[in-house]
Amino acid sequence: MTSLTPTPADKFTFGLWTVGNPGRDPFGDAVRERLDPVTILRRLAPLGVYGVNLHDNDLVPAGATAAERDRIVAAFAQGLAETGLVVPMATTNLFTDPVFRDGAFTSHDADVRAYALQKTMRAIDLGAELGARTYVFWGGREGAEVDAAKDPRDGIQRMRDALNFLCEYVRDRGYPLRFALEAKPNEPRGDCYFATTAAYLAFIETLDHPGMVGVNPEVAHEQMIGLNVYHVVAQAIEAGKLFHIDLNDQKFARFDQDLRFGSESIKMMFFLVKLLEESGYDGPRHFDAHTYRTEDADGVWDFARGCMRTYLILKDKARRFREDREIQALISEIRAADAGPAPRYSRGAAAALAARPFDRGALAARPLPYERLDQLLIDLLLGVR
Amino acid sequence: MTSLTPTPADKFTFGLWTVGNPGRDPFGDAVRERLDPVTILRRLAPLGVYGVNLHDNDLVPAGATAAERDRIVAAFAQGLAETGLVVPMATTNLFTDPVFRDGAFTSHDADVRAYALQKTMRAIDLGAELGARTYVFWGGREGAEVDAAKDPRDGIQRMRDALNFLCEYVRDRGYPLRFALEAKPNEPRGDCYFATTAAYLAFIETLDHPGMVGVNPEVAHEQMIGLNVYHVVAQAIEAGKLFHIDLNDQKFARFDQDLRFGSESIKMMFFLVKLLEESGYDGPRHFDAHTYRTEDADGVWDFARGCMRTYLILKDKARRFREDREIQALISEIRAADAGPAPRYSRGAAAALAARPFDRGALAARPLPYERLDQLLIDLLLGVR
Amino acid sequence: MTSLTPTPADKFTFGLWTVGNPGRDPFGDAVRERLDPVTILRRLAPLGVYGVNLHDNDLVPAGATAAERDRIVAAFAQGLAETGLVVPMATTNLFTDPVFRDGAFTSHDADVRAYALQKTMRAIDLGAELGARTYVFWGGREGAEVDAAKDPRDGIQRMRDALNFLCEYVRDRGYPLRFALEAKPNEPRGDCYFATTAAYLAFIETLDHPGMVGVNPEVAHEQMIGLNVYHVVAQAIEAGKLFHIDLNDQKFARFDQDLRFGSESIKMMFFLVKLLEESGYDGPRHFDAHTYRTEDADGVWDFARGCMRTYLILKDKARRFREDREIQALISEIRAADAGPAPRYSRGAAAALAARPFDRGALAARPLPYERLDQLLIDLLLGVR
Amino acid sequence: MTSLTPTPADKFTFGLWTVGNPGRDPFGDAVRERLDPVTILRRLAPLGVYGVNLHDNDLVPAGATAAERDRIVAAFAQGLAETGLVVPMATTNLFTDPVFRDGAFTSHDADVRAYALQKTMRAIDLGAELGARTYVFWGGREGAEVDAAKDPRDGIQRMRDALNFLCEYVRDRGYPLRFALEAKPNEPRGDCYFATTAAYLAFIETLDHPGMVGVNPEVAHEQMIGLNVYHVVAQAIEAGKLFHIDLNDQKFARFDQDLRFGSESIKMMFFLVKLLEESGYDGPRHFDAHTYRTEDADGVWDFARGCMRTYLILKDKARRFREDREIQALISEIRAADAGPAPRYSRGAAAALAARPFDRGALAARPLPYERLDQLLIDLLLGVR
């Protein structure tokens, strides 16, 4: 059996904002102290974690002077050196400050857009300084409740302008960074622009430097509207665009919950882990989740351990699935008629196909024992085979 | 006021399968007779309709001989000539026949895939013969309930293979057809591949002939998962990919209802109509909706009239919105700070931006009177201004 | 036409927490100053408002001394006297304080349950002192993310114990108060106990004093899961249990939005207003909604005006609907076969019914022109008839 | 370990309409032959099934003569005798026939209502003849798409009239039958009356003979709108009203899927099975699910086996959960402060409580290690402890 003890080779990462989350919600006050970033490093390292990710303001408070900023960053860099943790990903907080209440890059206000660019340039500098290789964009306020004065096409164009500018900035600086765009359907905005990962996949092709831009799907964001997140991530991988991933969990069709990875959607998370492990994805497995608000300070580390443990359990289930002869034989049976190359067009091929006889009744009668297969998977997931 | 009487210039179309729908559902038998296609033409023409759309089997039953097919098509073509109606769009039924129960183009069975191609080539021939300019693909069975034996990446690749083949076929034949891909999140499959319009927008860029392929968003399909369909269609238009549109309505987050256009989502349909009318979209306004199952044969035409009437009412509301001075003044106020060109990168521009001071408090204090604007819109929609 | 200018006779009320909402959300800081309660009274009165509702801590901060409490209450009472506003409803904040993070009345902790009772007794005293006639219970923290250690049946029993105790308290004190229970499916808890208004209707019958307990449906809470709130409120009225109502709006199947009344669900809000106006409900029309977070301090009053205005527009639409001859004639036609009394059982009646012949074909052929009727309603709502 | 081989003592039942389902859906034709009821008995019995349930027309086609009916019933009774299977539950098909297109008991048409009563009386006779002890009511067509001509309160009153009549009928006949009411939020109607199990729980108390009426929750029907079905069934049990249960599974917030039990919602189904097994519920475990439409005739029995197997696996997990010392110790820790009796009101008790000091900070600091507990449950479910 695969070990269930995490090591840095597993590339598990947590955001400073995740384990550091104090548990404030729309109806209640904070229940835990906000944790110092260096403390987070020291608590995470012994758990086998690979690294941490951060928004600029997770580390450097808004309004810090340059000297404060440098002092904080130095202390944090020392913490990284001490613990051996890395910062593979960084991002910008473009949502907390009231200045962004109607959008950052897509605001109607050219000054707000400029400020958002400036803040992001500085945050990119910070990320690069800390060694990040991926820079994530989540447009928390890019959207609308009222569509009467906002044309979503303006939103798209403004986002394009901002990303083109920032791509140039990164190239000009020579930073070894790639961008990863993160979608969300709604919350905090009534409707967010770029509601799904697929919306970003389409958008990326319209950028000046599409090669350096990919996506950062978040499990819960797709589940909020009931999408099959395994299918979503598969499309991103097929397009060569899975640059990063945010792992968590969610009960469907409700507010953004950011639950411990694998705590709800066992079967779907199995397929997702299997896909990540078998597709060659070698980026971080980042947990963008929160500890239950009922938990105290100690519970945060139970939460972090749980995310990693369930990932490793599911990874081991994926291995067993591959090695299970009955399951693999059944899959071969189901795919038995999947012979032959892809159709290549020629006039002759078209004519031959047009003339080919088909016995629809016979085709419709070929067995597809999915009930049996799915039950074998349930058995495997539940540990009874 | 804009006339509320439809004319062919409005380009309203109905599917043969919509007004012809007999009202069968998963729990009940048909409540209306299936209508003869020529009868449909004769009933729709006097209502001011522009044309009808069809699946191959809406006109030619599966299993018809070549002679039967030719006789049916000739009678239908004569009906078109008589009534002046056109067939701007055609499509293939790849979902009713049990042969497609696990997919057509994405089936595991190479024979089923070949049969689906053959059926589509013939249906394309039929569409071209009837003068269609748009060919729609809705993959009703492309998806899965059980992910254990199907890799969604295979689904994407197989769909790509099929569309590349069919693009070549159309080019080889010299048909003046463009393809429009139609997404759906689920139903009848547990999860459909290409769950959203955006998933197709991303996919199109990977085809051999992306220029001849666009999307056919269906209002209800996006609403089923609570997406803002106005935002969805806006992205398609911004990408130059709105080749066709299916109009209907839906209560959110439930089964596919195909309700009379504008019967539920008044405000969102206002924005959608406004977008279609103001964006330069000049394709058909196709109603892919069904008469309530409670209705008898006469009610079908009430349904058809209602779809068009509400569209025209909302079109007139859009004109009033543009011409309403108070509304436009308020929008100008909200967008007052939207000055200046898009950010163009240069090292100097970046340096200047990095050094620019911002008064965040002042920016956050700029008023955004969306409550007032949205209420003016509600007043306008409800006819009290 | 009915006047669209609100007056106290319309019984419109707002919560202190609604117009006073500072716009903090899970991803962002407050955007507006918290308003002083007396200021709220002075701003609302000129708008034609009838009264305000409050949680204990909307008026008296947690931790206030008795002297502070009395001073605050006296100032507020004077504000009521000055403005002529009343306090028809009061409630308890049992969700903000971390002490309630795992429930108040349903907490596992007997001390927390006792504290929740004490806090509620004091808040009831406050409500009674201010003249409230309805006392609302919304169990913001009564629920679970983790079901492993909580039996929902315990939750029900503990809620029953608390309400029985508090009913006795009110009776013992001789307060002229009735209780109104408010349901919510989720948020902030993963799943709330008593997820729907109907769950409370069933529960009430198991209390010691069911006659003094009814429900307070909130529009958005039922819409969050896609229920038809008109049907929900109708069941409450049919049961004689609509003691209060929280009006707002919501896009379906997402986080709790508390949008301006009538800003989204125009058609459903029409039926709800019609029901309230025609059913004899004479309680407050309470708006439990929030101003968009994009709005500044002035926008709050636009928001408040908008809630009332749309209610009055829809009330006028309901009158027109009743007086519209074509609509009423069509309804009569649809209901033409609704003759005869309800079936009363006797052996003879059963025998007669068992023997009665039915012509199913003829019954199935009776017309039900709902498409026509619904289109007339759309026309009426859009102001084109 | 508990045996995973089903026996009649497990009380597993299937509807004739479930294993007999031919796989027709809104977009496709039947894929399997409809099975003869006696064949179903013969196939189910060797699997360890306890019994079968049926709608009247599952056994006796609509329009059968009395002689045909008697012949069919006799053959079926003989099949029961042969196989040892029983019929614990029966119900009426009030949804397939177009006569019910706008409701059966709640139709506007008094003749349709009378016919629905007659059909139900006959179906009750049939159920009683076959030995059923529970009679289920699912009002498949009781609801509306158009609310303009239907008052939901009429729907409630008419349903009450019908059930009061039928209760008398059963009592008059001396049948040992109880009624179980089954809710659904939507589909096939736009909105169903009695959208949730809780709506029926409230309604039952208003009937003439509430003691003989309970509920039949269906897992998927509550999940369709994202309710926690474990909480729903717990309320029914707490009220003494769980008379029957329909087990299946569902992906959230979409069309009614009727998937194999436990195939999707592993964690929630664990809690549901645990509740059924530990609450003293001794009725049938009825699987109201369908075989995937991709399956052939043989797959139906894989499906049936899978439903029962997963139930038994989860039942065994529930036993392990009870016997797991670490889990139980943790639960005890979480519930440690749950001491003391329920609050009983007296003036003295109220005064004492009013005066009692609470240390809110200390109470808020009591640990609630739900993350740890939930992870232990995940480990147990996945078979790694």
ipTM, interface predicted TM-score of the complex? 0.97
Q: Please indicate whether, in this complex, the C-beta atoms of D369 and A313 are within 8 angstroms of each other.
A: no
Report chain B's mean pLDDT, rounded to a whole number. 97
CA distance B382 to B377: 8
Q: Please indicate whether, in this complex, the C-beta atoms of D96 and B27 are within 8 angstroms of each other.
A: yes
**Nearest chain B CA: its distance from C360 CA (Å):** 12
Residue B192 DSSP label = E
> End-to-end alpha-carbon separation of chain D, Å?
14
Using a CB-CB cut-off of 8 Å, the residues of chain B touching A117 are: 343, 353
Nearest by CB to B202, from A108, A169, A198: name it: A198
pLDDT tens string A59-74: 999 989 999 999 999 9
Nearest by CB to A28, from C95, C146, C224: name it: C95
Q: What angle do CA C279, C284, C290 make, to 5 degrees?
A: 120
**Nearest chain A CA: its distance from D372 CA (Å):** 6
Nearest by CB to D294, from B101, B186, B251: name it: B101
Closest chain C CA to residue B373:
C302
Closest chain A CA to residue C93:
A27
Using a CB-CB cut-off of 8 Å, the residues of chain A touching B110 are: 337-340
- The pLDDT score that the predictor gives to residue C252 is 83
Residues whose CB is less than 8 angstroms from the CB of residue B312 and which lie 6 or more positions away in sequence, other chains included: B2, B3, B4, B5, B6, B10
Which position has the token pair 């002046």?
A: B84
pLDDT at position D349 over 70: yes
- The pLDDT score that the predictor gives to residue D1 is 59
Name which of C338, C83, D31, C32 is nearest B102 in CA terms: D31
Q: H-helix or E-strand containing D144?
A: strand D143-144
pLDDT at position A229 over 80: yes
pLDDT tens string A12-48: 999 999 999 999 999 999 999 999 999 999 999 999 9
Mean pLDDT of D256-279: 98
pLDDT at position A203 over 70: yes
CA distance C381 to B264: 12
Q: Please indicate whether, in this complex, the C-beta atoms of A27 and C224 are within 8 angstroms of each other.
A: no
pLDDT bucket at B1, cuts 50 / 70 / 90: low
Question: Any idea which residues of C carry the catalytic annotation?
Answer: 55, 58
Cβ-contact D104, D94 below 8 angstroms: yes
Nearest by CB to A169, from B97, B121, B350: name it: B350
Using a CB-CB cut-off of 8 Å, the residues of chain A touching C27 are: 95-96, 140-141, 188
Using a CB-CB cut-off of 8 Å, the residues of chain A touching B191 are: 227-228, 231
Name which of A277, A196, A211, A290 is nearest A243 in CA terms: A211
- Between strands A178-182 and A213-215, the pairing is parallel
Residues whose CB is less than 8 angstroms from the CB of residue B361 and which lie 6 or more positions away in sequence, other chains included: none
CA distance C342 to A128: 77
- The pLDDT score that the predictor gives to residue A87 is 98
Nearest by CB to A96, from C29, C190, C253: name it: C29
Cβ-contact B179, B165 below 8 angstroms: no
Q: Please indicate whether, in this complex, the C-beta atoms of B118 and A354 are within 8 angstroms of each other.
A: yes
Q: Please indicate whether, in this complex, the C-beta atoms of D191 and C231 are within 8 angstroms of each other.
A: yes
Q: Please indicate whether, in this complex, the C-beta atoms of A145 and C259 are within 8 angstroms of each other.
A: yes
CA distance B181 to B197: 8
pLDDT tens string D204-220: 999 999 999 999 999 99
Q: H-helix or E-strand containing D246?
A: strand D246-247
How many helices (H) and strands (E) chain C has is answered by: 15, 10
pLDDT bucket at A342, cuts 50 / 70 / 90: confident
Cβ-contact B21, B1 below 8 angstroms: no
Of the residues C94, C111, C113, C272, the best mutation for testing chain D's interface (the one with the most D CB atoms within 10 Å of its CB) is: C111
- The pLDDT score that the predictor gives to residue B252 is 82
Q: Please indicate whether, in this complex, the C-beta atoms of D254 and B145 are within 8 angstroms of each other.
A: no
CA distance C358 to B256: 34
Using a CB-CB cut-off of 8 Å, the residues of chain B touching C302 are: 369, 371-372, 375
pLDDT bucket at A147, cuts 50 / 70 / 90: very high
Q: Give the three-class secondary structure for B11.
A: coil
pLDDT bucket at B54, cuts 50 / 70 / 90: very high
pLDDT tens string B185-227: 999 999 999 999 999 999 999 999 999 999 999 999 999 999 9
In this structure, which amino acid lies at residue B87?
V
Taking the CA of residue A224 as centre, how many other CA atoms within 13 Å lie in the half-sphere pointing to its CB?
30
Q: Please indicate whether, in this complex, the C-beta atoms of D364 and C156 are within 8 angstroms of each other.
A: no
In this structure, which amino acid lies at residue A354?
A
Question: Any idea which residues of A carry the catalytic annotation?
Answer: 55, 58
Nearest by CB to C302, from B296, B317, B369: name it: B369
CA distance D265 to D279: 21
Name which of C178, C286, D365, C363 is nearest A299 in CA terms: D365
Q: Please indicate whether, in this complex, the C-beta atoms of B117 and A338 are within 8 angstroms of each other.
A: no
* Low-confidence residues of chain C: pLDDT under 50: none
Closest chain C CA to residue D114:
C353
pLDDT at position D258 over 90: yes
Q: Please indicate whether, in this complex, the C-beta atoms of B149 and A370 are within 8 angstroms of each other.
A: yes
- The pLDDT score that the predictor gives to residue A1 is 60
Q: Please indicate whether, in this complex, the C-beta atoms of A260 and D382 are within 8 angstroms of each other.
A: no
- The pLDDT score that the predictor gives to residue A373 is 98
- What residues of C are in the A interface, CB distance below 8 Å? 23-31, 95-98, 100-102, 140-141, 145-146, 185-188, 190-191, 224-225, 251, 253-257, 259, 292-294
Q: What angle do CA D297, D299, D300 make, to 5 degrees?
A: 75
Using a CB-CB cut-off of 8 Å, the residues of chain B touching C22 are: none
Active-site residue (options: D10, D56, D58, D102): D58
pLDDT at position D339 over 90: no
- Neighbour subunits, A (≥3 Cβ pairs < 8 A): B, C, D
Per 3-state DSSP, chain D is made up of helix, strand and coil in percentages (nearest 5) of 50, 10, 40
Cβ-contact A135, A180 below 8 angstroms: yes
Nearest by CB to A110, from B147, B196, B337: name it: B337
Q: Please indicate whether, in this complex, the C-beta atoms of C26 and A141 are within 8 angstroms of each other.
A: no
Mean pLDDT of D321-330: 98
Q: Where are the alpha helices (DSSP H) in B174-228?
A: 197-204, 219-223
Structure tokens at B64: 């018809």
- The pLDDT score that the predictor gives to residue A296 is 97
Closest chain A CA to residue B228:
A191
Using a CB-CB cut-off of 8 Å, the residues of chain C touching B313 are: 378-379, 382, 384
For D233, list phi and psi in degrees, rounded to 5.
Answer: -70, -35
